[in-house]
Homo-oligomer: A and B are copies of this chain.
């Protein structure tokens, strides 16, 4: 949602993604397990691990999807393959590290982008402000940027921390931070929006 408008403008050639994924991505029972474990830890008890095989409360861990022979887990490879499919671009280079964090709902992503054409951060911000389904939250002054809570139960994907990547030359790199409610935009709402388009 956030990278595509930028891709259309300057063509993404490489993307490095690190995720901060909520319990909700693993379903209602996983959200329940995080709640129960948090109660147990606060009460000084051993946390009950059913869905996840390690403590989730006040902890984080590499995504629970199966790890493949190349060292990537299935969630990470999905991110690589779906980006290529959605952009219809088999050449775009993507690497991802998917991590579960003890957040109840809505995923976050730290995304480093490398473009074919130059793209300065002000142009990128204008493009994102004009993009359907995207809300820009990028207030450096008051240190207000997207959080999972900001987007929980919201339809839009929130993007902020939009800045020129210091580690890339020639205005061809950007860093952004994105949050989205994957129950809505990732699943239910998306299905409705696709159905509406079809109708």
Which residues of chain B come closer than 8 Å to A149, judged between CB atoms?
Answer: 54-55, 58-59
Q: How far is the CA of A127 from the CA of B91 in the complex (A)?
A: 32
How far in angstroms is the closest Cβ of chain B from A171? 13
Which stretch of A1-9, A15-23, A128-136, A188-196 is in the interface? A15-23
Residue A155, interface by CB 8 Å: no
Known: A93-B168, A95-B165, A95-B167. A145 touches B61 (CB 8 A): yes
Contact with B along A154-185 (1 / 0, CB 8 A): 00000011111111100001010100000000
Q: In residues 54-86 of chain A, which contact B (Cβ within 8 Å)? A: 54-55, 58-62, 64, 66-67, 70-73, 80
Q: How many copies of this chain are found per oligomer?
A: 2
Residue A42, interface by CB 8 Å: yes
Residue A119, interface by CB 8 Å: no
A residues engaging B (CB < 8 A)?
Answer: 14-16, 18, 20, 34-35, 38-39, 42, 53-55, 58-62, 64, 66-67, 70-73, 80, 93-95, 97, 99, 101-104, 108, 110, 112, 121, 140-141, 143, 145, 147-149, 160-168, 173, 175, 177
